[in-house]
Amino acid sequence: MSDTPLSDVMAEHIHSQDQAAYERFVALFRTSTIGVVVTGTPVPDDQGRLMSDGTLGVGRTDYGDGQARILTFADPEAFLRNYGPRFNAGVSGEVLLRMAAGDPKCRGILVNSAIEENSIIIDSETAAALIQSPPSPKKSLWDRVRRPKRIPELRPRTKPEAL
């Protein structure tokens, strides 16, 4: 199994322009941990957990067309190995979709691949549509195990002969 599942699907879409590959990409993005550049300073709460003091945010880029998008990095561990430190935190894709959809100044999310110098944009309209629908349920291990087929009862086709 690959340690770059999101980047693998990105490459498939980039090279084939297949809509089904893009749909797999955004579904996987939604349930993945994504690398981001966090700005601001977190502060500890009473239990020692880090919380926002109201100044935390994620880095943005206007690369390409000059429109502001959240800057993200697919498959953070592999990205770090291949390209070095470009981000300082991991955030769930679901949270990033909500951020992109909820900010009128944001035009979407720019996702950088961990295996190629390529990127894909998830526009804010797609992000909004994704957060309106529930995520695809993950199959449990039990659902993945092939269950034996039920064997129908054997019934005689003819009546037994009388003795």
- List pLDDT tens digits, range 92-129: 999 999 999 999 999 999 999 999 999 999 999 999 99
Nearest to 55 by CA among 72, 35, 37, 39: 39
* Contact (CB, 8 A) for 91 and 37: no
31 bridge partner residues: none
User: Is it the case that residue 49 has pLDDT exceeding 90?
Assistant: no
Label residues 38-67 b or e (16+ Cβ within 10 Å = b).
beeeeeeeeeeeeeeeeeeebebeeeeeeb
Q: What is the pTM of this model?
A: 0.76
The identity of residue 36, as a single letter, is: V
